Amino acid sequence: MIHDYVVLDRLGFYQLKNRFLVNFQRNPIVMILLLCLGGLFYWGYLELSVMLLAFIFKQPVYGVLLATKLIQILLFIALGIGLMSSLTNAIAHFYLSRDLEFQFSLPVNLNSWLLHRFFQVYIQSNWMLLLFGGPFIWIFLDLSGNNMLVCLLGVGVLAALSAFPVLFSTLLCMSLVKVFPARRVHQVFLVATVIMVASLVFLFRYLEPEQFIGPGGMDRFRGYIDLVSLDSQQWNPAIWASNLLAALSQKQWTEALRHGGQLGGAFVGTVGFMLLAGRRLYRSSWDRALQSLSGEGEIQLDIAKDSFLSRGLQYPRWSQEAREVLLFLRDPSQWSQVFVLLALLGLYLFSVTKLPQNPFGGTMYNLALGNSGFVAFISLSLASRFVFTSFSSDGQAIWLMKTTPDGWVHFVRGKLLVYGVPTLIFALVLNLLSGMLMKLTGEQLLYLGIGVVWDTAFMVFLALGLGMLFINPGIDNPLKMIVSTGGFLLMAVGLFVTLLHVILRLTSNSPEINLLLSYMTWWPDLQDGKVYYYFGSLFLIEALGLVWLCRQGLTHLRIGDF
């Protein structure tokens, strides 16, 4: 059994290594740059964590108790995050993975295969939690005066706790697939996860974490922690883990041994139950796994209904647009993002209501000009999520475009109208509603609206051009394109242009900001009529660059070298 597990893990390791080497050989500079930026960000996170926990520990009387309570809350949050992440990963790895048919045929023990798949789901669901939560636990125990071995044991406690939601998700998936098709279960889990994530993000913002910064912030934070009572949930593994970490921090070894036995026993028992259930449930769902891979049984043609959108495919003028909308509505991973957009809208407008009326001695209009950068960033995020990935989401069906009479221009126009125009409308709605909350005049709203149209149009056409140039029809998940070379270029260029546009607006409206930037950098004087020359020149340069980029993208599509 152990030999089989090692062989399966070695196979996965070689796949990961080869994928990394291929990407490194294709774009070594980009890979090195991403590794350096990631290392710098992680170092900053570690330094910030040390400063935060050290500050809490130094608080008189309540310092250690407050830090312990914070760790307890973080463990509860970790359990919820792990559950949301593992639901979709479990159904994908056990029933929808492309290499299932190959691995089913391997002469390995079923228990070894189940543990191998469980470990894959565990790593993919919890790698970020372990990467950022592990050091936080380590720092907590280190500040409590423990040695390296105890700190390492604390990280192991977090690792064991993170396995419970994966085990629960695995058992739930195996049970549901006995009744429902695997793809349908995956779609339901995907939509539920998106809704939960969007709700949690909005809830976090609603708690107004900025109130804990500044004078009296620690007292407010202490009062908030006191209101959160989790000790009554003694059945929850997060309570067992938090009690174990609290005992380790206080060097109460007898209590630590008791809570450790409780957590370890529950972990071993749950793993054993998962293996037993897997032998009984997963064997009998073999046919459903293969059926989900082949797509058989998902639709019955004799009961398929002719919809308005499907009838729109019969009209050549709007066939591409109808096709894009039809595919969007049939893919839960696409239309479920509407919940994320609603959360973004509520999050943004709620944040606007908390802005000061006289920021830094300036006016609300100055603040609105600076705030337009956040609208541009949201537009960039939407363009990268929908416009940029839409070319790769067609998959191998992209080759059919070479034989259709529509042509590539019509194909790209469909992407622009279905994804680009709604992105522009969403940005304008954000701008209008936030301007009304800031009580801006009609002239100021018009000026801001023109700026939003300029920002969003640049993001959309930039995403169109890069989406065509970096198209990858063979990718298993189009969302992975966001972290590809093209996605990195899109975010880098979009953020730079956003910063440039915001500074241009602020300096043209505020002589004080213009003078400050002129004193600190090479920024020119943009007062009076000079600003129109700079606006016009920048607009012309960006328009010419986008035209060239889109033409290169169309040429790349016509050549078909992808």
Q: State percent of the chain over pLDDT 70.
A: 76
- Report how far apart, in Å, the C-alpha atoms of 443 and of each of 49, 325, 446, 450 are: 45, 36, 5, 11
CB 379 within 8 A of CB 431: no
Nearest one of 90, 97, 124, 107 to 278, comparing CA atoms? 90
* Inside any domain, residue 444: yes
Tokens of 13: 């390791």
Same domain? For 265 and 368 the reply is no
Same domain? For 358 and 428 the reply is yes
CB 420 within 8 A of CB 460: yes
* Inside any domain, residue 489: yes
pLDDT band at 41 (very low <50, low <70, confident <90, very high): confident
* Inside any domain, residue 163: yes
The last residue of one of the domains, among 294, 309, 328, is: 294
Give residue 55's identity as a one-letter amino acid code: F
Looking at residue 297, its pLDDT comes to 44
| pTM for the full predicted model | 0.64
* Inside any domain, residue 330: no
**Looking at the 3D structure of the chain, how many domains does it have?**
2
Same domain? For 218 and 350 the reply is no
Domain encompassing residue 133? 2-294
The last residue of one of the domains, among 294, 325, 356, is: 294
* Inside any domain, residue 321: no
Which carries the bigger pLDDT value, residue 529 or residue 300? 529
pLDDT winner (highest mean) among 150-159, 292-301, 476-485 = 150-159
Q: Rounded distance, CA 116 to CA 103, Å?
A: 11
Give mean pLDDT, residues 449-459. Answer: 91
Task: Specify the residue for token string 């790698």.
Answer: 127
Tokens of 407: 């042509």
pLDDT band at 316 (very low <50, low <70, confident <90, very high): low
Nearest one of 13, 6, 11, 37 to 483, comparing CA atoms? 37
Same domain? For 47 and 175 the reply is yes
Q: Rounded distance, CA 83 to CA 132, Å?
A: 17
Give the distance from CA 332 to its chain's centroid: 16
Q: How many CB atoms lie within 10 A of CB 274?
A: 22
Give mean pLDDT, residues 110-122. Answer: 83
* Inside any domain, residue 509: yes
Same domain? For 524 and 422 the reply is yes
Looking at residue 291, its pLDDT comes to 56
Looking at residue 296, its pLDDT comes to 45
In whole numbers, what is the pLDDT of the chain averaged over residues? 77
* Inside any domain, residue 323: no
Same domain? For 101 and 232 the reply is yes
Burial class (CB in 10 A: 0-12, 13-18, 19+), 350: middle
Same domain? For 262 and 351 the reply is no
Same domain? For 235 and 376 the reply is no
Q: Rounded distance, CA 24 to CA 423, Å?
A: 33
Give residue 407's identity as a one-letter amino acid code: G
Looking at residue 298, its pLDDT comes to 45
**Is 363's pLDDT higher than 80?**
no
Q: Rounded distance, CA 457 to CA 272, Å?
A: 55
pLDDT band at 304 (very low <50, low <70, confident <90, very high): very low
Give mean pLDDT, residues 227-237. Answer: 63
CB 411 within 8 A of CB 329: no
Q: State percent of the chain over pLDDT 90.
A: 5
Same domain? For 176 and 265 the reply is yes
User: Taking CA 381 as the corner, what is the angle to CA 482 and CA 198, rounded to the nearest 5 degrees?
Assistant: 100
* Inside any domain, residue 155: yes
Looking at residue 517, its pLDDT comes to 67
Q: Rounded distance, CA 314 to CA 333, Å?
A: 26
